[in-house]
Amino acid sequence: MAGAIRTCKIRGITFISGLIWESPVDNVLFRENRNHARKENAYYVTRKLGKQLTQLGLVSAEEKNDASVGMCSLAGTLCNIVNVPTWIGAFIVNHQEMALVVVRHGEILAGMDCISSQEVIYDKFMHTIDMVRDAGDDFDKTYCPAVWDIPDSEELSLTSVVTGKEFKKNKSLLRSFSGFDFLKKEKKSILKLVFLFGSVIAGSVGYYSYQYYQQEQEEHRIINTKYIPPPHEWESETSVNEQLNKWDFYLESYPMVFDGWDLKAVSFSRGLAKLTYMRNEMLTASSFGKKAFAYFNVHPVFDKSGNKATLSLLLPADKDVDNKETLLPGQDAEIIFYSYFQRIGVNHIELKKVDVKLPREPVSDNPDVIYKWGKVTWKKYMWTLTVGVPPSVMLYGLKQLPGLRISKIRTEDIDRSTWKLEGEFYANEK
């Protein structure tokens, strides 16, 4: 297990992943189990499973330099917050890496508390779901990025975990086997005396110094706040024609029939393709699963009957997209939008205005300057429509509408060619 320990920092909290999770033991045997574990391990966390069992998570002595007392166990903390017996979660750590946690019947599974690349975590996530369902079981909750489009799943960000009300009381902190155990009983009394002594000496001086400091800091903050233009998200998103051409290219590369199974449903979104194959008579799910993994390099997810298999394929990210364009004026943007599609015979269109959500402001290189976003001068809409022909055919040769982007296309029956399209539309406020 050497090299498994990884740490990440979320909102100032250092999380640790890759612990060695032992099987839960009865509380009567736990002390003996912990004493045995301290021979080869430096740090540990404990998890209570009901009233009778305790699970131990360990950091080996050879990896002690990668950990320290007070770090927050990612798996242990998430278990306390999620609080259901069986669940699986893939969580974004940064733009390149993700964390995976798998819990079955309250137990964090060995090797399923890890941080790795998004590709590795995605493959492990899908394989685990397939393995658990093959065993006749299922997950009570499934967490993963929304773009993966996994049925009955929800997205949970680690930032929202840290800032949530439940985080403080559910932290699972790393402890040391070397311990200073003799101080534990007296720790509260010592801390009370230290704080009381410090309060008597510094109380009044500290209060007035703090008030003066706060006033000075607020004045300094107002003077040194720099407003910067907010990012235009449409500029980093591929145009409709380019996006459809890419999806069309990928669709043509996928087999319509694979190992005797027919391609039935298709879905494309930014960075993800989902293919659903249907079984024909005399064919087996196990055969399809092995051959599909060899060909597509992902494990299919079967429905409970074993007659339908869904493959989720990661697509290469768009690089160096720079679609700067002048948005339409706000007063007639909606009319122009509807007219754009009415011109090609599409009438049933849903257009809904949504809030513009900005990312966190960047940190200034100058510690004396604080960046704040300037005024948002545009509005954002979400749109959906259904067409009876492939999207690339319907929109072929149509002039690009400023601010129009497409985020998802899907069909439940590729033979019928009824497609649902989703996307965004941006226009100026005025």
345 located within any domain: yes
Range 378-396 average pLDDT: 89
* 55-77: average pLDDT: 91
The residue among 191 and 234 whose pLDDT is bigger is 234
The pLDDT, as a whole number, for residue 299 is 92
Rounded CA separation 264/277 (Å)? 5
What would the pLDDT profile of 401-415 be if each residue is shown by its tens digit? 899 999 999 999 999
pLDDT digits (tens, 9 = 90+) for 274-311: 999 999 988 999 999 999 999 999 999 999 899 999 99
**Angle (nearest 5°) at CA 429 between 424 and 430:** 135
Whether the CB-CB separation of 390 and 415 falls below 8 Å is answered with no
pLDDT at 182: 37
Residues 154, 17: one domain?
yes
Average pLDDT over all residues of the chain: 86
Q: What is the pLDDT of residue 367?
A: 76
Sole residue written with tokens 């074993």:
306
169's CB contacts (< 8 A; 6+ apart) are: none
Regarding whether 64 and 20 lie in a shared domain, the answer is yes
Kindly tell me if the per-residue pLDDT of 211 is higher than 70: no
Percent of the chain scoring above 70 in pLDDT: 89
> Domain range spanning residue 245?
240-314
How much is the average pLDDT of 183-212?
A: 60
Q: Which residues partner with 97 through β-bridges?
A: 117
Q: Which residue has the tokens 């069909």?
A: 411
184 has pLDDT over 60: no
Judged by DSSP in three states, 379 sits in strand
Residue 378 and residue 414 in one domain: yes
In a domain, 112, yes or no: yes
33 and 56 Cβ atoms separated by less than 8 Å:
yes
Q: 256 and 200, same structural domain?
A: no
Mean pLDDT of 216-233: 72
Q: If DSSP codes are grouped into helix, strand and coil, which group holds residue 142?
A: strand
Find the mean pLDDT for residues 169-176: 91
Q: What is the sign, positive or negative, of the torsion defined by CA atoms of 328, 334, 336, 337?
A: positive
One domain, residues 11 and 127? yes
Measured CA angle at 14 (ends 12, 17), to 5 deg:
150
pLDDT-derived band of residue 2, with 50, 70 and 90 as boundaries? very low
Is the predicted pLDDT of residue 221 greater than 60, yes or no?
no
Banded pLDDT at 23 (limits 50, 70, 90): confident
The Cα 399–Cα 366 span in angstroms is 45
Residue 165 carries which DSSP code? T
Is 252 among the domain residues?
Answer: yes
50 CB contacts (<8 Å, ≥6 apart)? 106
Q: Is the same domain home to 94 and 164?
A: yes
Tell me what pLDDT residue 345 has: 84
Check whether residue 301 and residue 152 sit in a common domain: no
What's the pLDDT score for residue 216? 56
pLDDT tens digits for range 121-133: 999 999 998 888 8
CA atoms of 382 and 423, how far apart (whole Å): 6
In a domain? residue 228 = no
Task: Identify whether the C-beta of residue 43 lies closer than 8 Å to the C-beta of residue 176.
Answer: yes
> Is it the case that residue 223 has pLDDT exceeding 70?
no
Count of domains forming the chain: 4
pLDDT in the model for residue 51:
82
Is it the case that residue 186 has pLDDT exceeding 70?
no
Please provide residue 413's backbone torsions phi and psi, each rounded to the nearest 5 degrees. -145, 105
Asked whether the beta carbons of 309 and 288 are under 8 A apart, the reply is yes
Please give the residue that has the higher pLDDT: either 56 or 50.
Answer: 56
Q: Let me know if residue 165 belongs to a domain.
A: yes
Residues 309 and 341 in one domain: no
- Of residues 28 and 360, more confidently modeled: 360
What's the confidence (pLDDT) of residue 73? 95
> What pLDDT score was predicted for residue 50?
81
pTM strictly above 0.85: no
Nearest to 382 by CA among 423, 338, 426, 340: 423
Residue 83 · residue 213 · CB < 8 Å: no
Report residue 181's pLDDT band, with 50, 70 and 90 as the boundaries. Answer: very low
| Residues 216 and 246 both lie in one domain | no
The yes-or-no verdict on residue 185 having pLDDT over 50 is: no
Q: Residue 276 domain-assigned?
A: yes
* Confidence at residue 208, expressed as pLDDT on a 0 to 100 scale: 56
Residue 281: which CATH number?
3.30.1360
